[in-house]
Amino acid sequence: MDITIKLITAAEQLFDGHGYMATGMDRLTEAAGISSRTLYKHAGSKSALMAAVLTERDRRFMRQIDVLSVDALFAALEDWIRIEGARGCLFLRARAETGGETPEIAEAVSAHKSAFRDRISDIVAADIGDADPDLSEQILVLFEGATHAAVYRDGAAIEAARAAASVLVEKTRS
């Protein structure tokens, strides 16, 4: 299997489960089954590896929420969390752990959040037939809230977000 994929997959899992800073390089090499020399040949540095993990996760996540209705968006989130688990947004966590002081990471985070926001606007537009910035912002807040409340409220948080979103969309549609 391709080394870069193995490395990024292992790194994402460890960063997600134990935190970025709390995950040492030896734990990464062991989990990926590669030597530290090879790790640095491929990743360059720990910061670069973190940024690469975020870039790859952005691709996977954006594919997951490639839907055409608000309801499908929250169904997609439910699927995502059932498979990935709920430990908060890995992008916001990366920014928080680095204090936003690592440029390559800060950039990966804001690129993702920008794309995420655009995607939600598109979904809202497809659902109700027109662009609606206010409703889009509300859906974004509900999605972000479901993601983080799910850490300690599990499925109930996503169900609540989905129901609330349905009310807001119906109200706008009429």
Partner DNA sequence: AAGTATGTAAAACGAACGTTTTACATTGCA
Partner DNA sequence: TGCAATGTAAAACGTTCGTTTTACATACTT
Per DSSP, the residues of the chain read --HHHHHHHHHHHHHHHH-STTS-HHHHHHHHT--HHHHHHHH-SHHHHHHHHHHHHHHHHHHHT--SSHHHHHHHHHHHHHHH-----HHHHHHHHHTT--HHHHHHHHHHHHHHHHHHHHHHHHHHSS--HHHHHHHHHHHHHHHHHHHHHTHHHHHHHHHHHHHHHHHHH-
41 is an interface residue for DNA by CB under 7 A: yes
Nearest CB to DNA, comparing residues 38 and 55:
38
17 is an interface residue for DNA by CB under 7 A: no
Among 34, 92, 140, 164, binds DNA (CB under 7 A): 34
Which of 65, 161, 159, 50 is closest to 116 using CA atoms? 65
Tell me which residues touch a copy of itself (CB under 8 A): 17-19, 21-22, 87-89, 92-93, 95-99, 101, 109-110, 113, 117, 134, 137-138, 140-149, 151-153, 156-157, 159-161, 163-164, 167-168, 171
At closest approach, how far in Å is the CB of 26 from DNA?
5
At closest approach, how far in Å is the CB of 18 from DNA?
10
Nearest CB to DNA, comparing residues 38 and 69:
38
Rounded to an integer, what distance in angstroms lies between the CA atom of residue 25 and that of residue 46?
8
Among 9, 25, 80, 149, binds DNA (CB under 7 A): 25
Nearest CB to a copy of itself, comparing residues 42 and 157:
157
The distance between the two most distant Cα atoms of the chain, rounded to a whole number of Å, is 61
At closest approach, how far in Å is the CB of 86 from a copy of itself?
10
52 is an interface residue for DNA by CB under 7 A: no
Interface positions with DNA (CB under 7 A): 3, 21, 23-27, 33-38, 40-42, 45-47
